[in-house]
Amino acid sequence: MLDYKSSSESPTPCNKPTKMSGKNTTNRKTLGRGICIITGASKGFGRALAHEVFHLLEPGSVLLLVARSGTLLQELKEEMQSFTDKQQLVVHCVATDLSTKEGVNETVKVARQEAVNEIDHVFLINNAGSLGDISGFESLTDLEKVNSYLSFNVSSPLALTAGILQVFPCRSGLRWSVVNVSSVFALQALPSWALYCTAKAARKMMFSVLAEEEPNVKVLSYSPGPLDTDMQEEIQRLTGLSYRLFPCQESAAKLMELLLDNNFASGTQVDFLEV
Amino acid sequence: MKKNNPTMSSTECRDLGRALCIITGASRGFGQTIARNMSRLVKPGSVLVLVARSGDDLRALQAELAESEAGRVGLVVECVVADLGQPDGLEAVVRRSQESFSEDLDHIILVNNAASLGDVSRYVKSFTNMAEVDSYLSLNVTSSLCLTASILQAFPQCPGLRRTVINITSLCALQPFRSWVLYCTGKAAREMIFRVLAEEEPDLRVLNYSPGPLDTAMKSFSDMFAQGQLLTCEESCAKLMKVLLDDNYTSGAHIDIYDL
């Protein structure tokens, strides 16, 4: 059985940590002067990622927070405000529905407006996703329901990633990082979870192909572990199961560490529970 | 000891029972070959439901099978000209299958073969049009999921009724290839659908069969992987039939022709 490791592992000048990870005044590694886009940023893991990432961005960086809820995004922006103001970070709240092409295009448009600035890192975190119907295979007879689920969970991150790649074409001196928020169920089949497993498997493959195509883009599929989110609350309510959940902050911090260390092979999947 | 040759007539002891066999993408290529092979391996009184968008090609195949030995001893061949990406197309297949079913049938076989290659000359960064991706996933992923769910709902588990679901998969379900994002993504998604199904329904026999690089209209695939060593549909289909007849594969497993 073939594994999912991409063969395009060799580091390129754009990805050498010593060149591209800047150091701030306390000599910690940073994510450079970047444009960072986080989808599904209003709650759960996306929100925790926003809280982790802004500490690691250098002055002049831009953070795009994307979700449907303008209210929650604005709250998030205000939570970070004193730091982001001091650190000269620009934060944009993009309240839009990524299950629509208008939503994807709106996000790309906002990113494009920021393309005039001097940045050395484009950092896209495809986190937005949904659980879908987990009641069982035989409830999946409706074409529209399945199409709609795949559109949001597969087509949307593909189109968004493509759009952002076109706004910021690879060039020497530009570090490019893409994160796919994945799951153990991208690799493992779970009964009743056909939609979720299928979309996660599709995304894992999609981002692995990207890694094969673009040696200058560092691609990471990150499985964050079972977290204390609304999604897990729904899962536990629907299944009646109860199991340990990890704080989003812990998993988000682990992801940042992985990105700063930059030791993973592009296209691979890393699991929070195994690092 | 009886010769173990799956291409012999139905008087041999190895056969797939008295079956209702639904085959998508049956009008040409591998689907057409599956239809021919199935016709030889099912008992008299069996029904083949052939599904494709091309009515002319399906009817030609139907005529061919009606005149074959299997046709002459009682194989029924139905054609459903349908777009499985449309609700009415899907419903038409389910309805025809239900109408064709009779209590003396002991095996339901669904072959999810219909698929498309997508544009294999373009990189991920070119897929900015969400509708294009939606359309590809609809044909290649959604339709096979919904058809399978609908057929299983129409023919629930029942004593004396075997049910087999086959997904025609690919090496591309397991391994990424540059400029092949749609095809790889669609195949990876499909394979996972059937792996989940296998986990969920232990009485069901689920097979992910990877046929290898074939001499069909899906030529780019063959050019890329075959390096001149194309397989005929017959060769690959014969192996598939043997796997089905032996019936000792692990449900949900990915079986590649080169494993056999």
What whole-number distance in Å separates Cα of residue B55 and Cα of residue B57? 6
Within a domain: A7: no
Q: Does the beta carbon of B52 lie under 8 angstroms from any beta carbon of chain A?
A: no
DSSP B97-165: HHHH--TT--EEEEEE-------TTB-GGG---HHHHHHHHIIIIIHHHHHHHHHHHHS--BTTBEEEE
Q: Does the beta carbon of B258 lie under 8 angstroms from any beta carbon of chain A?
A: no
**pLDDT digit string (tens) for A221-250?**
999 999 999 999 999 999 999 999 999 999
Binary contact (B146, A140; C-beta < 8 A): yes
The fraction of chain A above a pLDDT of 70, given in percent, is 90
Q: Does the beta carbon of A213 lie under 8 angstroms from any beta carbon of chain B?
A: yes
Confidence of residue A4 (pLDDT cuts 50, 70, 90): very low
**pLDDT digit string (tens) for A141-155?**
999 999 999 999 999
The number of folded domains in chain A is 1
Within a domain: A27: no
Q: Using an 8 Å Cβ cutoff, are A119 and A169 in contact?
A: no
What whole-number distance in Å separates Cα of residue B159 and Cα of residue B228? 47
Binary contact (B138, A201; C-beta < 8 A): no
Q: Does the beta carbon of A109 lie under 8 angstroms from any beta carbon of chain B?
A: no
| Pick among B94, B95, B137, B144 to test the A interface (most A CBs inside 10 A) | B137
pLDDT at B221: 66
Which residues does chain A have within 8 Å of residue B200's beta carbon, measured at their own beta carbons? 136-137, 191-192, 194
Contacts of B132 (CB under 8 A, 6+ apart): none
Q: Which residue has the tokens 């089905």?
A: B244
CA quadruple B141, B145, B148, B150: dihedral positive or negative? Answer: negative
- DSSP 8-state class, residue B174: T
Within a domain: A9: no
Q: What is the pTM of this model?
A: 0.92
Residue B55 scores a pLDDT above 70 = yes
A58 is in which domain, residue-wise?
34-271
**pLDDT digit string (tens) for B1-32?**
444 445 554 444 699 999 999 999 999 999 99
Which residues does chain A have within 8 Å of residue B165's beta carbon, measured at their own beta carbons? none
Mean pLDDT of chain B: 93
pLDDT at B260: 87
pLDDT at B217: 83
How far is residue A237 from each of residues A134, A183, A231, B131, measured CA to CA in Å? 12, 20, 10, 34
Nearest chain B residue to A209 by CA: give it: B176
Within a domain: A136: yes
Within a domain: A113: yes
Identify the CA nearest to B173 among candidates A209, A31, A82, A65: A209
Binary contact (A212, B186; C-beta < 8 A): no
Which CATH topology does B19-259 take? Rossmann fold (3.40.50)
B85, B133, B150 ranked by CB distance to A158: nearest: B133
Binary contact (A197, B196; C-beta < 8 A): yes
Mean pLDDT of chain A: 91
Please state the rounded mean pLDDT for residues A90-100.
97
Domain residue ranges in chain B: 19-259
A167: domain CATH number is 3.40.50.720
Q: How many CB pairs under 8 A join A and B?
A: 173
How far is residue A275 from each of residues A47, A234, B8, B121, measured CA to CA in Å? 22, 26, 55, 37
Q: Does the beta carbon of A61 lie under 8 angstroms from any beta carbon of chain B?
A: no
**pLDDT digit string (tens) for B116-173?**
999 999 999 999 999 999 999 999 999 999 999 999 999 999 999 999 999 999 999 9
Q: Does the beta carbon of B227 lie under 8 angstroms from any beta carbon of chain A?
A: no
Q: Does the beta carbon of A167 lie under 8 angstroms from any beta carbon of chain B?
A: no
Distance from CA of B30 to the nearest CA of A (A): 24
| Pick among B93, B184, B185 to test the A interface (most A CBs inside 10 A) | B185
Please state the rounded mean pLDDT for residues A59-70.
97
**pLDDT digit string (tens) for B191-246?**
999 999 999 999 999 999 999 999 888 866 666 676 667 899 999 999 999 999 99
**pLDDT digit string (tens) for A251-264?**
999 999 999 999 99
Count helices and strands (H / E) in chain A.
Answer: 9, 7
Within a domain: A192: yes
Q: Using an 8 Å Cβ cutoff, are A46 and A53 in contact?
A: no
Within a domain: A91: yes
Binary contact (B201, A208; C-beta < 8 A): no
Within a domain: A173: yes
Which residues does chain B have within 8 Å of residue A2's beta carbon, measured at their own beta carbons? 171, 174-175
Q: Using an 8 Å Cβ cutoff, are A39 and A98 in contact?
A: yes
Residue A202 scores a pLDDT above 60 = yes
A138, A147, A200 ranked by CB distance to B142: nearest: A147
Residue A52 scores a pLDDT above 90 = yes
What whole-number distance in Å separates Cα of residue A128 and Cα of residue A149? 12
Binary contact (A139, B254; C-beta < 8 A): no
Structure tokens at A32: 């450079």
Residue A25 scores a pLDDT above 80 = no
| Pick among B192, B199, B254 to test the A interface (most A CBs inside 10 A) | B192
